[in-house]
Structure 1
């Protein structure tokens, strides 16, 4: 642990974490019900799928950095992963507010596999929000031991969401 920085109280962030963990999924769900008659200048799904892929890569690089005790590199990569996730969310919402949902056209086992991946991706994308926020707060408040404990849970959840986002895109892309 960095002894030059005192441990700050992370409890003051709890209300904000709870609010964001509830408001973000509810806002996304509500915005899905709003359709704007605007044609975007670019087709967003391959862009936000690429952002998911880049997020997965950044998460793995951040994990490698911390394993090698490269704390500043880890910190920069994690901030970049959070920024990528925010960008993904904005583009995802923009796409769904301006475009009709695409129906998956596969059949048989592939269809069941797709819906399993999609469902677990959606559920985990909601579940990971408070984990990311808590993990981040524990890092910025220098509560490193508690940060490490929750990061062991957050990392695989977040990585799963990023990777399955790419898988969902690849599987549905023939039906756009």
Structure 2
């Protein structure tokens, strides 16, 4: 596997994390605590794999420029402008959500999860859309 293959792989990891986040929410609403914990651990593992591949790719390949033209550019950059700061904010929020759960402080975990969950889902979904726009729908990105 070469670095150019990594965007597909890390987007797959992102999609798997998203599915497990959603499954984890469904499971906790059904009061299936053990299954919820398992699904969320899997989501965390996929998110960690995503982040590792994403960082390795960008350290190896560098910055890439969106190749789309016309209407796709403002759509892409609007998504990107909302996605990037929320993705950066998401990591400490996830940590601040997991730590209370590990300490059996489920009241605190639940309060934090109400903020973390929608951001994590949004970042995951927009990340997949950004990948599709940058690497699939509008041609390969331009190396900067």
Are 1:52 and 2:35 matched, yes or no?
A: no
Are 1:93 and 2:51 matched, yes or no?
A: no
CA distance in 2, matches of 1:112, 1:170: 15
Q: What TM-score results when the alignment is normalised by the length of structure 1?
A: 0.74
1:127 Cα deviation after fit: 0.8
CA distance in 2, matches of 1:128, 1:93: 16
Q: 2:34 — aligned with what?
A: 72
Pairing of 1:138-153 with structure 2 (within 5 A): 138-153=100-115
Q: What TM-score results when the alignment is normalised by the length of structure 2?
A: 0.89
2:3 touches 2:57 (CA, 8 Å); kept in 1? no
Give the RMSD, CA atoms, in angstroms.
Answer: 1.5
CA distance in 2, matches of 1:160, 1:127: 12
Structure showing greater Rg: 1
CA distance in 2, matches of 1:41, 1:88: 14
* Aligned counterpart for 1:167 among listed residues 120, 123, 129: 129
1:41 Cα deviation after fit: 6.5
CA distance in 1, matches of 2:90, 2:64: 25
More helix by share: 2
1:108 Cα deviation after fit: 3.0
2:14 touches 2:50 (CA, 8 Å); kept in 1? yes
Superposed structure 1 runs of 4+ greater than 6 Å apart: none
2:100 touches 2:108 (CA, 8 Å); kept in 1? yes
CA distance in 2, matches of 1:97, 1:147: 34
1:103 touches 1:175 (CA, 8 Å); kept in 2? no
Q: 1:135 — aligned with what?
A: 97
The gaps in structure 2 that reach 5 residues or longer are none
**Greater CA deviation, 100-109 or 110-119?**
100-109
